């Protein structure tokens, strides 16, 4: 049975590939872009199975009205894919307040508003699925991406709570966590003005690795999309979908380190509890 999908950031990268894949298999897609002509070729090829809407995620009012418009046009949307976003690149001291505001507005507040706006529609139709395209950067961190990580860790925490709130309504979530993937992510980075004081630091090392091409990118964009679609088609998908060998290695190593550190603090943790015997006496 065909499905109807809503996808943000559909003009390029994962969003574009997903839109193409879904249309080819016969599904309907409501896709949002920032340029109204970005999907004109697909519109000609697939007719009314593709609806293109213009959306800037930083415009909160537009997010809500676009979701309303999408459901009004489609009638029912089975899967909402929150994909749009970009990276802010620079040490925390290097980035400007304006860059920080835009990063948070796009990568954190945008998805929050999108999800909040979609929930009433999904609830009224009896359920649905929301896919948040996050990153391995929602569980680990690289120097020079501190604000990007802040948004990804933030949106994952938001979804952790919201998923529990809306589960009784038949609404569930998938958080997709790709590692470095061959898309146009690097070309779309918002770069801070570099400070030479960071040249001989981990931030400088990452900067050089990206500049000279030695930063390893193992992920394949098309295979990543295929895995996301396959998970979204499952009756019971994983809550977090780790995508790519580098993401798997980095995330599992980070979780094992955190777990070992937490277990090493067991006695300290319990020592901070109230002495209930003294309270009850």
For 156, other C-beta atoms within 10 Å of its C-beta total 19
What is the C-alpha R_g of the chain?
Answer: 21
Strands 128-133 and 171-178: parallel
Options 148, 198, 248, 270, the catalytic residue: 148
148 in active site: yes
DSSP state, residue 5: E
CA-based torsion, 136, 142, 147, 148: positive or negative: negative
Query: CA–CA separation, 196 vs 146, rounded Å?
Result: 18
H or E segment to which residue 276 belongs: helix 276-280
Which residues does the annotation mark as catalytic? 148
């Amino acid at each position: 049975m065909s499905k109807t999908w809503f996808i943000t950031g559909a003009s390029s990268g994962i969003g574009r590939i997903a839109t193409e894949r879904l249309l080819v298999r016969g599904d309907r897609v409501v896709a949002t872009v920032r340029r109204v002509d970005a999907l004109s070729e697909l519109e000609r090829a697939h007719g009314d199975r593709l609806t293109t809407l213009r959306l800037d995620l930083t415009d909160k009012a537009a997010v809500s009205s676009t979701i309303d418009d999408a459901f009004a046009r489609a009638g029912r949307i089975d899967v909402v894919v929150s994909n749009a976003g970009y990276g802010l690149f620079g040490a925390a001291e290097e980035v400007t307040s304006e860059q920080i505001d835009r990063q948070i507005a796009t990568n954190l507040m945008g998805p929050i508003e999108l999800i909040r706006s979609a929930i009433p529609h999904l609830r009224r139709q009896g359920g649905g699925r929301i896919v948040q395209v996050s990153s391995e950067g929602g569980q680990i961190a690289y120097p020079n991406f501190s604000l990007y990580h802040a948004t990804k860790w933030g949106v994952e925490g938001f979804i952790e709570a919201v998923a529990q709130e809306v589960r009784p309504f038949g609404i569930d979530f998938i958080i997709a966590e790709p590692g470095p993937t061959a898309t146009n992510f690097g070309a779309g980075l918002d770069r801070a003005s570099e400070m030479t004081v960071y040249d001989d630091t981990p931030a400088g090392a990452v900067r050089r690795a990206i500049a000279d091409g030695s930063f390893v990118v193992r992920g394949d964009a098309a295979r990543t999309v295929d895995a996301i679609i396959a998970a979204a088609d499952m009756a019971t998908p994983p809550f977090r979908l780790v995508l790519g060998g580098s993401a798997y290695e980095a995330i599992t190593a980070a979780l094992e380190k955190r777990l070992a550190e937490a277990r090493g603090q067991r006695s300290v943790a319990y020592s901070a509890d109230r002495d209930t015997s003294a309270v009850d006496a």
